[in-house]
Amino acid sequence: MALSQKIKVLIADDHAIVREGLKQILIDSPDIVISGDTDSGVDAIRRHRNNEADVLLLDISMPDRSGIDVLKQLKKEFPELAVLMLSMHREDEYAIRALKAGASGYLNKKSTPLELVDAIRQVASGRKYVSLALTQELANQLGEDREKPLHHGLSDREYQTLTMIASGKTVTDIAAELALSVKTISMYRSRLLQKMKLRHNAELTHYAIRNNLVQE
């Protein structure tokens, strides 16, 4: 992208208030233009296929298709696309999964407007964006001589199922939200319980709360 060009940003978040808030922040940046917004992961994929954006701001928790799934699909089709993931989840839990899946950066929704604009400019220039908080957390982890937590061995879908069950959702609720069959979600649940050596949802929920994987 030429330096004189404005950065076209597409916003994908299922909360209208969040989308409007992001627009208000970005509208004051002379080098950024909002190319559109959507509340659907599937629609975000369709819009980018029409070359609507240089940077995609993508919520990690979309209702029709998870942000990680949308990210993987877009990176498969458009390897050079800059995707900045947005989330309320703890950075050290979801950020690594997002970065491994091809994200250019990860930003917590509690970040300041200045951080958001800086992150967009960095990923638009081809660089990665990682917050100072996450950089420190990763450095701490590298310096620790301890076993990785059990949930680090889960697949993205298994981890998503874990956090949703711990948030109080039933297998049926999760299946409807992710547009998957109850049988498939039950399979993810069985796998994650086996991998983590847990017996039932109560132990799963206790583990998630103890490890700050869900909002209490």
Location of structure tokens 């981890």: 159
Report residue 214 as tokens: 């869900």
Q: Do 124 and 160 sit in the same domain of this protein? A: no
**Residues belonging to the chain:** 216
Q: Do 59 and 41 sit in the same domain of this protein? A: yes
**pLDDT tens for residues 151-188?**
888 888 999 999 999 999 999 999 998 889 999 999 99
Question: Model pTM?
Answer: 0.67
Q: Which of 95, 121, 140 delimits the end of a domain?
A: 140
Q: Do 134 and 154 sit in the same domain of this protein? A: no
Q: Do 127 and 180 sit in the same domain of this protein? A: no
Give the integer Cα–Cα distance in Å for 121 and 99.
17
Q: Do 14 and 52 sit in the same domain of this protein? A: yes
| Strands annotated E in 13-135 | 32-38, 55-59, 82-87, 105-108, 129-130
Domain extent for 114: 7-140
Give the integer Cα–Cα distance in Å for 55 and 150.
34
**pLDDT tens for residues 50-96?**
877 899 999 988 888 888 889 999 999 998 899 999 988 765 667 87
Domain count, the chain: 2
CATH number of the domain enclosing 94: 3.40.50.2300
Give the DSSP H or E segment for 7. strand 7-12
Give the integer Cα–Cα distance in Å for 92 and 135.
9
The DSSP secondary-structure symbol of 84 reads: E
CATH number of the domain enclosing 175: 1.10.10.10
Q: Do 134 and 200 sit in the same domain of this protein? A: no
Q: At residue 143, does pLDDT exceed 60?
A: no
- Indicate the residue type of 82: A
